[in-house]
Every structure is written in C-alpha cells, then in structure tokens.
C-alpha cells in the first residue's frame, strides 16, 4: 500500500500540469450539474411562478436538447486541441450563468438551462476525459482516477459558497454572477495555460499492449457497431439510477420517515468512497485494462439498488451510499478509459460525445419516468428492484460485449 501511494505521488509530480487541467475542468463542470442548478431551484420556481412539475419539465427539455447537441459539438475535440475547445467552452458556460441570473422570462430561462447543461455537464467533462484519454496510455486508468474527483470537489465546496454569497447579498442571482466571474477570471486562464502544452505518451507507454485497440474507428462505424449498444446497456445504468435517487430523495425520506440530516450526512460517505474506489479502479485498469473489468463494475450498484428496496431502517441508506460510492468510483474512472480501448483515439472526441449524450439523456429521462410511475402507484423501492435486475442483465450483456471485443481484436491482430 505504501508503494502504491508513493508511485501515485510520483506520477502526480511528473504529470501535474495535465492532471491539474483535467481536474479543474471536471470541477468547474459543476456549474452545469444538477446539484448546483438545484441550489437555486426554489428561487427559480418562485421567480417564474412555476410548479415543481413545470420546472422539472423545463429542466428535462433543456437536458434533452443538450444531449441532442453534444454529439455534434463534441466533434470539435477531434478537429482542434483541447485548450482551444476550452477557450470557447468556458466563456460559453460563464455566459449561461449570467443569462440565468438575468432571464426575463421562461423562454430565456430554458435557453440558459440548455447552455448550462451543454457546456457544463457536457463539454467541460467531455474535454477533460477526451484529452486525458489521449495524453495517457499505460497509466490511463490512474490518470482518469485522479481527475474524476474534481466533480466531488465541486459538490463538496461550491454549495456552501453559494449559501454564503446568497445570504450575504440577499439575492439568489449573485452566486450566478460570482460563478461567471470565477470561470472567466480563474478557470479560463488557468485551464488554457495548463492545457496549451500537449502531453505526448512516451514510447514505452505506446508499446504497452494492455490498453491498445485494434484500430481507430470513425463515428459512423461506431454508430453501426452492435457492440456499442451492448456496452451502453450497462454504462448508462449508473447515471440513471443515481440521478433517480438524488431527485427523489425527499420522497424516500418521507416514505421511510428518515431524518433529513441523517440522510444528508450519508453523502459524505459516498463522496469519500467514490474517491477511494476511483483510485482502486485506476490501478486495476492499468493492470488489466478497462474492457476486462466491464462485466463486474455493475455488481455494487445492483446490490445497492436492492438494498434501497429491501432495507428500511435508516442504516440502510448508509449501506446504499457506501455501495453507490464504490459504483461511482468505478464508473467515473472506467468509462473514461473504456472508449479509447474499444474504438481508438483518432475520433475519440466525437465518439465520447455520442456516449456522453446517451448518459445525459438517461439523466433527463430517469426522474420523469420514475416520477410518473410513482404517480401511478409503483413505489420507488419497488422500482429499485427492477433497477437491480437491470444491472444483473446488463452485466450479462457486458460479458457478451467483452467476448466479442476480444474476438474482434484477435482477428485483426492475426492478419
């Protein structure tokens, strides 16, 4: 264990510039994430006289639109260096923050939400994981594990700052202006400076056989590849299930009679576990490859989903959050390293944009679909049993996908 931490520290020291750039991109993506936008949810509903359902509908519409746009915008990462993409993505995200604060009507509000989701949740994370996927080969898993906690850092730091600024200024709009200023004055110059120097994988990394793929695929080939859809059957589950739980946490607290503070405290456990198991996953990826881990990464999520359904005491929430942290740690690291292994690097930006848009789409559909089922009498715990079954069936599909990937690679390398 000591050797592991020493090697990790040495790796960070040797690659601090690029890891810091990726970490900051994922952290500043927070301004377009659900948890950050939700901090102003009540104020937005009051300002525009929206019901909870109406605001949720606008949010779903904006998220769906961003999911449809992302595959096209993400192609810019295949046409220009990542720092140039960041150079227009960060100002666009800052503009969205200002637009939300100044929105005079619902139409502008919806457009602002669309821009926040597209450039925040979408392009900021897309740029981070695409560039790290290209810059690192033999240590790709470790690199992904070190930048993914940027999202956890954002969720740990920013909400408290928003509350402090809101209370000090007396206006919910002020934190959004402050967010735009932070993006333009700190995020933009620092991230662009860190990313302007490209990292070139060393020869021994390129020669490593663990993380190679047979060839570079085009986007049109990927869309026609049946293996993509086998992989998506599993890779979309974590975002869908986690979003559902977070969105319906108030319903679950009321249904089970939990103390809201006790429930909220479990998020700390989830965050810590996510970081730890992200690093564990990174080590496993560098040793075995991301493809080899795919059949197993949904097992903690399957157990966690079943736990929500079957364990009613409050301690069950801590079991769920612990397992969700394990799942999140593996998911964030694994999915960053998977696509370069399967489809190569030449068109990675456009290919990742397809998969990320699928993830965004799942986070848009999840709350609405499960809420509709709740209204029709299907309780969330019952739904969680079906989600556990989804994870089990998806694991079988991923096992088949891995087998076909190996067969395809063997056939190509045999030529």
| pLDDT score at 20 | 95
On whether both 202 and 219 belong to a single domain, the answer is no
Across 147-162, average pLDDT: 84
Q: Is the pLDDT score of 284 beyond 80?
A: yes
- Check pLDDT > 60 for residue 6: yes
Last residue of a domain, one of 150, 173, 208: 208
* CATH number of the domain residue 120 falls in: 1.20.1250.20
Q: How far are the Cα atoms of 316, 376, 386, 391 from residue 306, in angstroms, in the given order?
A: 10, 21, 9, 10
Q: Predicted confidence band at 201 (pLDDT cuts at 50, 70, 90)?
A: low
| Residue at 279 is within a domain | yes
Q: Is residue 337 domain-resident?
A: yes
Specify the pLDDT at position 207: 47
User: Band of the pLDDT at 125, cuts 50, 70, 90?
Assistant: very high
386 and 348 within one domain: yes
pLDDT at 4: 60
pLDDT score of 367 more than 70 = yes
Whether 113 is covered by a domain: the verdict is yes
**Which of 208, 240, 266 marks a domain boundary?**
208
What is the C-alpha to C-alpha distance for residues 205 and 198, in angstroms, rounded to an integer?
A: 16
Task: Pick the last residue of a domain from 153, 178, 208.
Answer: 208
27 and 110 assigned to the same domain: yes
Same domain, 132 and 270: no
Question: Could you report the per-residue pLDDT of 313-328, keeping only the tens digit for each?
Answer: 888 888 888 998 898 8
Overall domain count for the chain: 2
Q: Does residue 165 fall inside a structural domain?
A: yes
pLDDT of residue 211 exceeding 70: no
pLDDT value at residue 209: 47
Do 105 and 27 lie in one domain? The reply is yes
- For residue 215, pLDDT beyond 90: no
- Domain membership of residue 181 as a residue range: 8-208
Report the C-alpha dihedral over residues 69, 291, 400, 302, rounded to 10 degrees: -80
What are the pLDDT digits (tens) for 379-409?
889 999 999 999 999 999 999 999 999 988 7
Does the pLDDT at position 268 exceed 80?
A: no
pLDDT for 37-90, tens place per residue? 877 877 888 899 987 678 778 888 898 899 889 888 988 999 999 999 999 999
DSSP 75-140: THHHHS-HHHHHHHHHHHHHHHHHHHHH--SHHHHHHHHHHIIIIIIIIIHHHHHHHHHHH-STTH
End-to-end CA distance of the chain: 42
Domain check: are 124 and 250 in the same one? no
Which of 55-69, 177-191, 232-246, 371-385 tops mean pLDDT?
177-191
Q: Which of 106-110, 151-155, 260-264 shows the lowest mean pLDDT across its residues? A: 260-264
- Asked whether residue 3 is assigned to any structural domain, the reply reads no
For the cut 50, the answer to whether the pLDDT of residue 185 exceeds it is yes
358 vs 107 pLDDT, higher one: 107
Residues 189 and 42 in one domain: yes
Which string of b and e fits 272-305 if b means at least 16 CB within 10 Å? bbbbebbbbbbbbbbeebbbbbbbebbbbbbbbb
Looking at the structure, do residues 157 and 218 belong to the same domain, yes or no?
no
Average pLDDT over residues 359-367: 82
Mean pLDDT, all residues of the chain: 86
What is the dihedral angle through the alpha carbons of 189, 194, 195, 197, rounded to the nearest 10 degrees? Answer: 120
Same structural domain for residues 23 and 130? yes
Across 169-183, average pLDDT: 95
In a domain, 1, yes or no: no
Q: Are residue 411 and residue 296 in the same domain, yes or no?
A: yes
Is residue 2 included in any domain, yes or no?
Answer: no
Tell me what pLDDT residue 3 has.
63
Residues 6 or more apart from 220 whose CB is under 8 A from it?
none
**Residue 117 shares a structural domain with residue 184:** yes
- The predicted pLDDT at position 19 comes to 94
| CA 100 centroid distance within chain | 22
Q: How confident is the model at residue 5 (pLDDT cuts 50, 70, 90)?
A: low
Residue 98 sits in the same domain as residue 178: yes
pLDDT band at residue 203, thresholds of 50, 70 and 90? very low
Establish if 397 belongs to a structural domain: yes
Distance between CA atoms of 408 and 227, rounded to whole angstroms? 11
- CA dist 92 and 77 (Å) reads 16
């Amino acid at each position: 264990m000591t050797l592991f931490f020493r090697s990790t520290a040495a790796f960070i020291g040797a690659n601090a510039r690029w890891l810091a750039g990726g970490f900051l991109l994922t952290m500043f993506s927070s301004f377009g994430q659900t948890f950050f936008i939700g901090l102003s949810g009540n104020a937005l509903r009051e300002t525009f006289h929206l019901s909870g359902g109406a605001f949720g509908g606008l949010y779903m519409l904006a998220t769906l639109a961003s999911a449809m746009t992302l595959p096209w915008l993400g192609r810019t990462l295949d046409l220009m260096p990542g720092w140039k993409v960041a150079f227009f993505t960060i100002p666009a995200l800052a503009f969205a923050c200002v637009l939300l604060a100044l929105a005079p009507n619902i139409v502008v509000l919806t457009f602002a939400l669309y821009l926040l989701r597209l450039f925040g949740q979408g392009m900021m994370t897309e740029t981070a994981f695409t560039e790290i996927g290209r810059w690192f080969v033999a240590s790709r898993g470790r690199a992904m594990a070190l930048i993914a906690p940027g999202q956890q850092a954002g969720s740990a730091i920013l909400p408290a700052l928003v509350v402090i600024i809101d209370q000090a200024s007396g206006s919910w709009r002020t934190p959004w202006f402050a967010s735009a200023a932070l993006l333009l004055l700190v995020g933009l110059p620092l991230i662009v400076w860190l990313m302007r120097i490209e990292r070139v994988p060393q020869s021994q990394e390129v020669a490593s056989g663990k993380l190679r793929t047979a060839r570079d695929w085009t986007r049109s080939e990927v869309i026609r590849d049946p293996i993509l859809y086998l992989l998506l059957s599993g890779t979309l589950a974590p975002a869908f299930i986690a979003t559902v739980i977070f969105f319906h946490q108030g319903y679950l607290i009321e249904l089970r009679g939990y103390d809201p503070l006790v429930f909220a405290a479990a998020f700390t456990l989830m965050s810590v576990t996510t970081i730890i198991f992200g690093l564990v996953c990174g080590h496993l990826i560098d040793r075995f490859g991301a493809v080899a881990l795919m059949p197993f990464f949904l097992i903690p999520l399957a157990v966690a989903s079943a736990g929500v359904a079957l364990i009613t005491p409050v301690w069950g929430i801590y079991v769920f959050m612990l397992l969700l942290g394990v799942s999140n740690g593996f998911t964030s690291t694994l999915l960053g390293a998977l696509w370069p292994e399967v489809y190569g690097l030449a068109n990675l930006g456009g290919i990742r944009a397809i998969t990320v848009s699928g993830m965004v789409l799942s986070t848009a559909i999840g709350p609405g679909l499960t809420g509709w089922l709740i209204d029709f009498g299907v309780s969330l715990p019952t739904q969680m049993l079906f989600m556990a079954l989804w994870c089990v069936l998806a694991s079988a599909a991923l096992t088949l996908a891995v087998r076909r990937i190996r067969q395809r690679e063997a056939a190509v390398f045999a030529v």
